[in-house]
Amino acid sequence: MDRFSDLKPSELQTLGDHVVDGARQIESARRRRRNLIAGSIAVALVVGVTGTAFAAPLLAPPPIAAPVPSKSDSPVPADTPTPRPTSSVPAEPMQLATPQEAQDIVPDVVAGQFDPTSTRLLGADDAVKFFVARGAAPQNPYCLILVPTTGPEGWAIGCGTLDSVRTVGAVVGEAQLSTPGTAPAGWTPIDEFVSVNPAASRTPLSKPEPTQPPHSPSYSVAELQSDLDAIGPDVAVLNDQAQYDAHRLRGSQTETLASTAAEQLHGPVALIRPTFVGFPDDVSDSPNSLLWWVVTSEQTEFAYSHTHHVDGMEWTGWGQGDRDLASLQSRLSSWLAQNRPNQNWTIVTQSH
């Protein structure tokens, strides 16, 4: 039996009321304490934040002034490429953009895949001229042509891109066409685009000494006289076609004989031939009908026409001839001695 069993109902009611009232007071006290604690925490937080805010300026380091950007330090937008410095080095020989002059033209014997109207002289040394040209093939846009200064024989050509053209020849040596500053070390510059290999050999062409044709001991002046007599004299008959054709044939045979005899006798030759210029039946030796004329193995300025007197009458030489054989022979010999003093001429007169 517990200790409350002896209490009366009224006493139990009073005791219960006291218990309930005490519980209410305890609950009210607990609420006040919770509110006080929460308020204290809030005050502490506010004080802490405020203290930090006030302390930050005092504890922070002194401010550093930001640098003022200059024009050179201005930022470059990401989508704008940085400009490269411009170069003064030309992309190709500047001569290619100039008109072609006489000195720029290469000899006709030079052949290759290039445009002959584009050749330009870049320079020369004591033995070789250096030309540049545009190549005819797309894969070989440039050509370097080397021509001896003594003549076209021994020329050489090379074609390719600007930094791959190298021309080599036995007579002209070795040279290279390349952009400025890329020539091989030790090479001699001719132009800013052309350099020469000083170690490359150059073999100059040796011109052979002129040789005389072999002398034929079987041919002599006497045989020349016989060959000239075999041609026979001319008869200038203009109204007879057959005789006229024979006249022209004998003239051609005489010119061929003069040239052949000069080679065999190793010296110039003059052949004197007669032509009958009278009527067809007049083949006499009278000075009125006979004309003498000269055929030479090389060109001369000898005056074939001549005016002189025969039997008291004045006669004028006709065409290349002369009516007085002795006068013609004397005049021809004097002219050759005066105008060709160092030549040994063979003069042969045809018999008639």
Tell which of 146, 180, 196 closes a domain: 196
Q: Which of 53-57, 127-131, 347-351 has the lowest mean pLDDT?
A: 53-57
| CB-CB contact of 115 with 104 (8 Å) | no
Question: 63-67, 210-214, 222-226, 274-278 — which one is most confidently predicted on average?
Answer: 222-226
Per the domain annotation, does 291 fall within a domain? yes
| CB-CB contact of 289 with 278 (8 Å) | yes
Higher pLDDT, 313 or 243: 243
| CB-CB contact of 158 with 143 (8 Å) | yes
One domain, residues 225 and 113: no
CA distances from 62 to 57, 69, 336 (A): 9, 22, 120
Per the domain annotation, does 22 fall within a domain? no
Q: What is the pTM of this model?
A: 0.38
Per the domain annotation, does 66 fall within a domain? no
Q: Locate the DSSP E strands across the chain.
A: 120-124, 128-137, 140-148, 156-160, 165-169, 173-177, 188-191, 194-196, 234-235, 269-276, 290-296, 307-310, 313-316, 321-322, 346-349
One domain, residues 143 and 229: no
One domain, residues 298 and 250: yes
In the block, tokens 């004998």 appear at: 250
Q: How far apart are the two ends of the chain, measured CA to CA in Å?
A: 201
Per the domain annotation, does 41 fall within a domain? no
| CB-CB contact of 346 with 228 (8 Å) | no
One domain, residues 344 and 225: yes
pLDDT at position 51 is 45
Higher pLDDT, 89 or 181: 181
pLDDT at position 17 is 67
One domain, residues 184 and 288: no
Per the domain annotation, does 203 fall within a domain? no
pLDDT band at 194 (very low <50, low <70, confident <90, very high): very high
What proportion of the chain, given as a percentage, has pLDDT over 90?
A: 24
Number of domains, the chain = 2
Write down how long the chain is. 352
Residue 314 has pLDDT above 50, yes or no: no
pLDDT at position 296 is 85
One domain, residues 156 and 252: no
The DSSP bridge partners found for residue 293 are 273, 321
Q: What is the pLDDT of residues 77-100, one digit of tens each?
A: 544 555 544 456 678 899 999 999
In the block, tokens 């004080």 appear at: 47
pLDDT band at 287 (very low <50, low <70, confident <90, very high): very low
Run of H or E including 140? strand 140-148
Per the domain annotation, does 51 fall within a domain? no
| CB-CB contact of 120 with 131 (8 Å) | yes
d(CA 164, CA 139) in angstroms, rounded, equals 11
Domain that holds residue 316: 221-349
pLDDT at position 16 is 66
Higher pLDDT, 206 or 270: 270
Q: Please give the torsion angle defined by the CA atoms of residues 108, 113, 118 and 121, in that order, rounded to the nearest 10 degrees.
A: -70
Quick one: which of 202, 258, 192 has its CA closest to 231? 258
Single-letter amino acid, residue 22? G
Per the domain annotation, does 21 fall within a domain? no
The DSSP bridge partners found for residue 174 are 168
Q: Which of 149-153, 297-301, 348-352 has the lowest mean pLDDT?
A: 297-301
pLDDT band at 322 (very low <50, low <70, confident <90, very high): low
Per the domain annotation, does 50 fall within a domain? no
d(CA 57, CA 52) in angstroms, rounded, equals 9
What proportion of the chain, given as a percentage, has pLDDT over 70?
A: 59
Tell which of 161, 196, 231 closes a domain: 196
Residue 223 has pLDDT above 80, yes or no: yes
d(CA 207, CA 222) in angstroms, rounded, equals 37
One domain, residues 259 and 333: yes
One domain, residues 230 and 263: yes
Neighbours of 146 (CB within 10 A): 26
Question: Rg of the Cα trace of the chain?
Answer: 61
| CB-CB contact of 264 with 348 (8 Å) | no
One domain, residues 229 and 340: yes
One domain, residues 176 and 238: no
